[in-house]
Amino acid sequence: MKAETYLFGSVEVSPEKVITFPNGLVGFESSKRYMLAHENTDGQPQSYTLQSLDDPMLAFQIVDPTTLGFNYELELSDAETALLQSPAPEDVAVMQVLFKSEGEGKAAISPNLRAPLIINTKARLGMQKIMEKFLPNITLSNLASAV
């Protein structure tokens, strides 16, 4: 299928590569179909672009939290598990959405810690888990490295 995107122009997307977020993402509930894009690099990419296939102007930069020194231990409700079609642990990817924040006259890019994306990589289904509070079972490491 052909998709129009702001960042990549017109691209061909295999239907098997589409990731569906049945509930959309916070603030973007009407965009449910996405593709992942990344720069061609040797080895595993450090970040990805999550490009909406429903809105060509909508894209998010996402990263694996472990590249930033975060380790999530998430518990899914029965409804969340059903939404993701009961994935095996090895079929789950947890990603953080990056956002730009400005303070004291300078801009910074930060991860959204309270709303990680959870993706069943086998079924190509995803959800955004909103955590009401920052739980202590999120461990931070490698705090000295620059982002």
pTM check: above 0.85: no
Q: Please report whether residue 57 resides in a domain.
A: yes
Taking CA atoms, 11 is separated from 5, 18, 53, 68, 97, in Å, by: 7, 13, 10, 30, 23
pLDDT of 74: 83
Q: Please report whether residue 146 resides in a domain.
A: no
User: How many other C-beta atoms are found inside a 10 Å radius of the C-beta of residue 9?
Assistant: 9
Q: Please report whether residue 81 resides in a domain.
A: yes
Question: For residue 120, which phi and psi values (nearest 5 degrees)?
Answer: -85, 105
Dump pLDDT digits (tens) for 15-36. 999 999 999 999 999 999 999 9
More confident position, 37 or 127: 127
Q: Please report whether residue 145 resides in a domain.
A: no
Range of the domain at 91: 2-140
Q: What is the CATH number of the domain that holds 58?
A: 2.30.290.10
Q: Please report whether residue 147 resides in a domain.
A: no
- Identify whether the C-beta of residue 95 lies closer than 8 Å to the C-beta of residue 117: yes
Overall number of domains in the chain:
1
Question: For residue 81, which phi and psi values (nearest 5 degrees)?
Answer: -65, -40
94 falls in which pLDDT band (50, 70, 90)? very high
